[in-house]
Chains A and B, each alone.
Chain A
Amino acid sequence: MEPLLTLDGIVKTFTQKRGGKRDVQAVAGVSLTVGRGETVGLVGESGCGKSTLARLALKLIEPTAGRIVFDGEDITARHGRAMLPVRRRMQAVFQDPLASLNSRMTIAEILREPFDTHGIKLGAALQPRIRELLSFVGMENTDTTKLPPQFSGGQLQRIAIARALALEPDIIVADEPTSALDPSIQAQIVNLLLFIQRQRQISYVIISHDLDVIGHVADRIAVMYLGTIIEQGPAAAIMGSPWHPYTQALLSAAPTLAARRNPEWKRIVLTGDPPNPANVPTGCRFHPRCHLARDVCRQVEPPLRPSEDGGRLIACHLAPEETAEKGRWIGQARLGMPAAATA
């Protein structure tokens, strides 16, 4: 697949001012490629750096190290006006639709802002274009003179998506696009994102803590933990047989309804608190919460390496030898299928 967006060795260090100056590495060397028309899902828990990575990809913040390449061009050092042509092709959708729209602007003003910003003068064609955008996202007959607070969350997320589509981008980076919405609305937004991709062949980077959503929409999944990618591969491989103990814990925490009601089903409950980027453990970043951890894990940080079959990237000393079987079992048990083998 032809690469559209490439993140290469991205590092982002924040300086924490509270409680004595110290550097916190939110993203610690992440490489990721998004192909044309591809959906990459980025999962992880709070503090894993997934949202920081999204903001880096969108060039809303500057990486401390690493390169960002968009459609063959290095855009790492581009700023301001020089970024405009890239921004036109790379759009964003955020978690909280009400907060991400200016509450003092009417829907019409919000939807014309992309055109104004990029100097596209539509004149009399502007209003029909806005109507067309709205109806494309399922918001026909919207009163465009209303303000955002007069709409529901689901409607606002559609409007935010319409704004992202206005300039016909090649890629949309969506940070938790369904997380703030009610369950029946989440499904609508997932459907809309899939519909748009089928119509427009655009690429997505979708960031979420919701494995169900990621598993449904993504072609490829990258799992982040404490600023690094610990496992990455085709969605079917990651969801069907996760290798990394952390991916396994994540998946087992969110099984199907059927599996949850099955009294024989047991989830892996991780002990300990979510990791803190200000206090990164030595060796494997996950070892304090890993039930398989042994000396090598405590001492040596495992590199993200391709698996022997080339099907995925994995950062675990013990994978796949000691983890693959359990992964397969979780993948099946999660779907409520009879477990082929015991863990």
Chain B
Amino acid sequence: MASVANSARGGLRWNIALVAMAAVMVANMFFTFMFAPTEATSGHVQRIMYIHVPMAWLAFLAFFVVFCGSIMYLWKRTAKWDDLASSAAELGIIFTTLVLITGPIWAKPTWGVWWTWDARLTSTLVLWLIYVGYLMLRAYSANRSQGARFSAVLGIVGFIDVPIVYFAVDWWRTQHQRLVLGGLSLEGDLHPDMRLALLVSVIAFTLLFGFLLRQRVSLKRVERGVREMREDAEFMAEGQR
């Protein structure tokens, strides 16, 4: 219950951070729709990039958090690492889902098809399935400890798909566009103003991710607290009988 007292004390600072995040999100809208120049070959459709690419980045980041949290859980066996990993997995699934929704919307007008089974798209779908499997594994486990352990193993092994998704466009022939951010992108592929708009979007959505992750983890902590109180109460009641 210490977390409730903490959140009251840090309330003001937290609210300021929230307002700042909202401001960055609004600024991001400006960068996406006003600042970024219209793309020469595909036109306004290309603006989907400022949603699609950050969503993919956040999916990777979320699954990296799952990976680290899972290792820490298997090592330390403390519930907070399991909370972190499982919360990040839920967020990662949301962002991967958004990648899989915004992708086809962008693909249809530019490629001419909604979907194709190339290495990038297929490995992304596999990524989604791995982490949906992660949540199912937790849900179907005999008890919470077993679910936490099994899913931690999957959270570590499943992370192998993240570099596969990222490098797929470099390793194999794909339908998908090449990398536009990171070390493997080519100079001059992305207009400087588009690059700036994309970076702003990545920062804005990363802040949102941090906010959502914090909220989810603290909700899990409260859930755990309630569950333990109930278990204690039941145990006491049994003892009095």
Pairing of A with B: no
